[in-house]
Amino acid sequence: MSGSNAWTRSRERMRLFPELFAQCAGEAATYGRCVAATTTGRQELRKDMCAKEFEALKTCFSNAAKRKAK
């Protein structure tokens, strides 16, 4: 498939992912630790158990993307 379509555009966006992620290493580590803690703890991992940490990560990520787009 040549030319610009949904797949090429989304692939282009995904290419920026590692760079943007690198700017949010702190939030990512916090979220990762929260989830990793549930694997060793007695409670099973459920939906949104680490929602707060994830929101922080996602906000950081979106801001990084907005800065990149500027």
Partner 1 sequence: MSSGVCLRVLRAAGSPPAASSGSWSRVRLPADPRHAARRALSASGRGGTMNVFNRDMKKKQKEWAASLRDGHQFDYLRDEVGGRVADRVYDIVRTFPLALDIGGGKSHIAGHLSKDVVERLFLTDVSERTLKQSRRSEIPTHRVLADEEFLPFKENTFDLVVSSLSLHWINDLPGALRQIQQVLKPDGVFIGAMVGGETLYELRCSLQLAETEREGGFSPHVSPYTAVTDLGNLLGQAGFSMLTVDVDDVQVNYPGIIEVMTDLQGMGESNCAWNRKSLLHRDTILAAEAIYKEMYGNEDGSIPATFEILYMIGWKPHESQAKPAKRGSANVSFGDLSKISQPTDTNTS
Binding site for partner 1 (CB under 8 A): 14, 17-18, 21, 27-29, 31-33, 35-36, 39, 45-50, 54, 57-58, 61
By C-beta, is 3 or 18 nearer to partner 1?
18
**For residue 34, how many C-alpha atoms fall within 13 Å in the half-sphere facing its CB?**
18
Residues 6+ apart with CB under 8 A from 6: none
Q: How far is the CB of 29 from partner 1 (least distance, A)?
A: 6
Q: How far is the CB of 18 from partner 1 (least distance, A)?
A: 5
Tokens representing 3 are: 């030319």
Q: How far is the CB of 4 from partner 1 (least distance, A)?
A: 18
By C-beta, is 4 or 40 nearer to partner 1?
40
10-18: long-range contacts at Cβ-Cβ below 8 A with a sequence spacing of 24 or more? Answer: 16/65, 16/68
